[in-house]
Structure 1
Amino acid sequence: MVATGVHILISLALVVLLFRSERPEPYLVAALAAAVPDIDTFVFRPLVELGYVEGALWMHRGLTHSLLAGIALTILLAAFGPWRAAAIGFGSHILLDSLSGGVRPFAPFDLALYGVSVDWLLLNMLISIIAVSMILGGLLGMKYDFGRQVVSHPPETLSERFR
């Protein structure tokens, strides 16, 4: 299981690299979209334990980790920011969870679990290191705008040389 903070971190890193926005909306939307799929751990669990619902659809990594939920969440969050940021946040969550045990992407139509199982500690550490590196690189790129050409003129006077 990937930690919720790591889901948010990698979605923010992807948005920094892809959007390079100075506005907060893409980051907020991506962070929310990356965190919302795990709402099933505290919304559905009591319903299952009390016997109101049953089956794989209502378990963790069931309905809230499906493409259907992703489309609904992206449409909902598009009211607050770019829909692409929401899709990146949700998609990165599903991809990481598919590496740490699997997800049910076609629920409610197909309840099969798709994915592999990688050691959760190793996965969390590697993804965190990659995400922090991506965020720092993206922020440096935003600050220094590496694509811009800088024209430099040599100083003409002695006082200009020491400014």
Structure 2
Amino acid sequence: MLLSARALVSAAAAVLTLAAASACTATERDAAEHRPADTPGTSLVPVNPATVPPSVAEQSAATSTAVQWVQRWLRPAEGVQLSQWIAGLEPLSTPEAVTQLRTVDPQNVDSTRITGPAAIHASLPEDITVDVPTDAATVRVVVVRADGKWLVNGWNPAS
């Protein structure tokens, strides 16, 4: 039995169509098996941990550190030596902050008491800036994550 050229082309086209459909189905099935399920109307976005802000608990811990630090930073009583003042601040400070503190005369600190609740000024993944109001000025304290805890890395009057 001989097939006409037209019948041969039609048969070949049908075979190629079936083969292509089978390949697409297998490819789509493989892709579906290896991708996470999406909820209609949503898309999966990769999360970069460096851009995730600290949790409420972390912000609270950083704020607590800032307030404790400012409480110890306030002008000490007459006769308190620089070394004593720094010893009180050191456990809550980074080494860089301690170096900065060594240049300060604690008797020149104008603030003598905290006058209100602290407020977060800015919150980034690795540092939180906290404003602590005092009787002389609001002190802006930068608290950073170091060695698994929050430590003060810098301070200045808030503008």
- TM-score, normalised by the number of residues in structure 1: 0.24
Report the structure number with the largest CA radius of gyration.
2
- TM-score, normalised by the number of residues in structure 2: 0.24
Structure with larger RCO (C-alpha < 8 A, sep 6+): 1
Select the structure that is richer in strand.
Answer: 2
